[in-house]
Structure 1
Amino acid sequence: MELTQSQIYSPPPGFFRRLSVLDWVYGAALAAGVLFALSRFGAHMDYYEKAILVLSAPTFAWLGWHWKPVRWLIALLAVLALSSISLYGGVLDAANQKFLLKYGLSSQSAVLWMSTLFFLSTLFYWGGLLTRSDFGGAVGSKLCWAAVVMGFTGMLARWYESYLIGTDVGHIPISNLYEVFVLFSLITALFYLYYEQHYATRQLGPFVLLVISAAVGFLLWYTVNREASQIQPLVPALQSWWMKIHVPANFIGYGTFSLAAMVSAAYLLKSKGVFADRLPALDVLDDVMYKAIAVGFAFFTIATILGALWAAEAWGGYWSWDPKETWALIVWLNYAAWLHMRLMKGLRGQVAAWWALIGLLVTTFAFLGVNMFLSGLHSYGQL
């Protein structure tokens, strides 16, 4: 018997064969951007920063190929960051003299815009949920994206501003509470926006934006009361290339754990009949919660290992039971147990949701409470 054409198995095309011309143009643009950055700013980078920059091209290419919004986000950030650098013209005081810097593209102005946009996004998301309005959710989503753009613009501008203060002062802006609260807000928002598109629902925005708005509220209080927005030289313990990879990995963990906790709050409300006809199905909420914790656990594990290697270099030992290290271990054990119960025992439902929600308290204390109430080798990050 002869096989018809439809019966002959044809293997699916490989990944690279599935890429379109626009995909390749996007990848080429990233490579060109990396080469431009190396030629323009390479003199201010060490070998590790150059390696990170080079690796960023395939990383963001892969992200952009799998999640299209990353493309225009990177393009927009490149335009805004280069505009900010051009307006400064190598003079830090230009931030007080030029209109666009003073009210938009300096680091402090951009972070204030980010904060305002996150607050507005929260209001519109909640308005959309309470009034059953698709318009409110759509506006909230766009405002959230705008906040992400301004936040990353502020971070990139701050990085450049630190070098304008002095080449010995310049550093990636992830070294103190002010900077990592901005980072936390942006990471949490980006992961939420990905899940929003992936699951085609905006009904989780009101919950996730609450934790982001809380972080932004603390950031503003901290800025006003402690003048935390001022750029300071790095303390000796932070003058290490480990910081550039340990801190982002750590805050991907914190951000996704927080996202999972807010989704679990939505799960519990729906289980009790609150917003039951407005929130996604319980299976969807459960899936988002699980995936967020799984991603966060992977990155938090990497961050913990990197932190131990950094500690060995900075303090001569991989582990010293410093309060920050101890609470990081508690966070890791908490989510390791959650995932074990999920994968081995089929943990689902309200127990899993309550566990994820309570996990936010553990995570918050490890992130912020240790800095407020305990002292140790990580005291350079205290309030």
Structure 2
Amino acid sequence: MDPLIKLEEILFIVAVVSYLVSSFLYIWYLITRSDRAVKLGTIILVLGLAAHTIALMLRWVSSGHAPMANLYESLSLFGWGIVLFFLIAQHFYPVKVAGSLVVPTAFLITSVAGVFYEGPQPLVPALQSYWLWIHVTIAMLSYGLFALAFGAGFFYIVQEYLLKKQYQNVVAAFVILLAALGIVLGLWAGSVWAEPAKVADELGRIDKIYTGEDTAKILGGAGFGLLIGAILGFVAGKGASRPGFSKRLPSLDVLDEVSYRAIAFGFPLLTIGIITGAIWADQAWGRWWGWDPKETWSFITWLYYGAYLHTRLTMGWRGKHSAILAVIGLVAVMFTYLGVNLLLSGLHSYTPT
């Protein structure tokens, strides 16, 4: 095995383990408010990000192209972006507690990337363009910012309910969040378990043909994920409903500001990502826009976040309204990013970006 590839694998594992350990420390900080825990968690998270960065660079060198050509590389880059933007936000805002949600999310994404690991492969003709790394990098950075907005928005909702002593709503918020996450992970697990037939046309579009058994596996995974997520959400919600828990969270103003700024920076990046993707599509397939499922859902996501900014800047929507939109927005992002590739057919089926 190429020494660079071996070193990349080791550093990637170091990053995943670091994110896992850091996740526990941030969650422990949420529970105990231990400064030692969050300081150690931050140090380990920084070290994990450094290892992850070097792993991505080694992947680039060993493959001869930007590490964005398959599901492993793209998921790895997505997780890297989430950690990077969280650390930047933590440096400027008192949002350490958000790490108890954001860091585990990054860990889940990078660990799922490991499941799809494959060695460096030559690029298919459509991906042999410098627009690859430009388009994908910008898109992944915008996704990372939207994930940060999601975390801040969720804790805004929880904090408001806590301040109003609406503890049943706190439990409901955690149940809905973790149940939704369970469904997403279950759909992913089911889609991996299922083995649909794949047929490529002359343009490279991958058509997936699902049998009844494949569909049952996917729906079964979603149902199991829903059950486990709901149970975990109930336990977490009960824990968060304890008296004094609200003092462990940032103020509503801080959470609102972080969520808004993350989307305010992420939206123009998503816009540029879509534009560069259109340029790339024209070079690869001879048309700027073809309403491919990925293109369609990218446009839907763009409209959604555009509506978020519109309602905030012109209609005065702030606080809970904006927080709910920020939380729901990540659903559109994740379906655009993963759902389209795993469940639908199109030109992007061979690459998740």
TM-score (norm: length of structure 2): 0.74
Residues 161-310 of structure 1 aligned to structure 2 (within 5 Å): 161-162=62-63, 170-222=64-116, 228-273=117-162, 274=240, 275-310=245-280
**1: distance between equivalents of 2:316 and 2:40?**
38
Residues 1-383 of structure 1 aligned to structure 2 (within 5 Å): 93-94=2-3, 106-162=7-63, 170-222=64-116, 228-273=117-162, 274=240, 275-381=245-351
Quote the offset at 1:367 in angstroms.
0.3
Q: C-alpha offsets along residues 250-304 of structure 1, whole Å, 9 cap, x if unaligned?
A: 0111111111111111111111114311111000000000000111101000000
**2: distance between equivalents of 1:207 and 1:265?**
9
After superposition, the Cα gap between the structure-2 partners of 1:221 and 1:361, relative to the gap in structure 1 and judged at 3 Å, is same
Quote the offset at 1:220 in angstroms.
2.7
Asked if the contact 1:253/1:300 (under 8 Å) is kept, the reply is: yes
Asked if the contact 1:235/1:380 (under 8 Å) is kept, the reply is: no
**2: distance between equivalents of 1:329 and 1:202?**
33
| Aligned twin of 2:220 | none
**2: distance between equivalents of 1:346 and 1:211?**
30
Quote the offset at 1:355 in angstroms.
1.1
**1: distance between equivalents of 2:22 and 2:158?**
21
**2: distance between equivalents of 1:313 and 1:121?**
42
- Any unmatched runs of 5+ in structure 2? 163-239
Asked if the contact 2:149/2:326 (under 8 Å) is kept, the reply is: yes
Q: C-alpha offsets along residues 90-139 of structure 1, whole Å, 9 cap, x if unaligned?
A: xx5346xxxxx85xxx1111111100000111100010110110111111
Quote the offset at 1:382 in angstroms.
6.0
Regions of 4+ moved over 6 Å: none
- Any unmatched runs of 5+ in structure 1? 1-91, 96-100, 163-169, 223-227
After superposition, the Cα gap between the structure-2 partners of 1:159 and 1:229, relative to the gap in structure 1 and judged at 3 Å, is same
Give the RMSD, CA atoms, in angstroms: 1.6
Q: What is the aligned residue count?
A: 272
Q: Which moved more, 1:277-286 or 1:206-215?
A: 206-215
After superposition, the Cα gap between the structure-2 partners of 1:94 and 1:250, relative to the gap in structure 1 and judged at 3 Å, is closer
Asked if the contact 2:337/2:352 (under 8 Å) is kept, the reply is: no
Q: Tell me the secondary structure at the aligned position of residue 348 of structure 1.
A: coil
Opposite residue 143 of structure 1, the aligned amino acid is I
Structure number with larger C-alpha Rg: 1
Opposite residue 321 of structure 1, the aligned amino acid is W
Asked if the contact 1:159/1:173 (under 8 Å) is kept, the reply is: yes
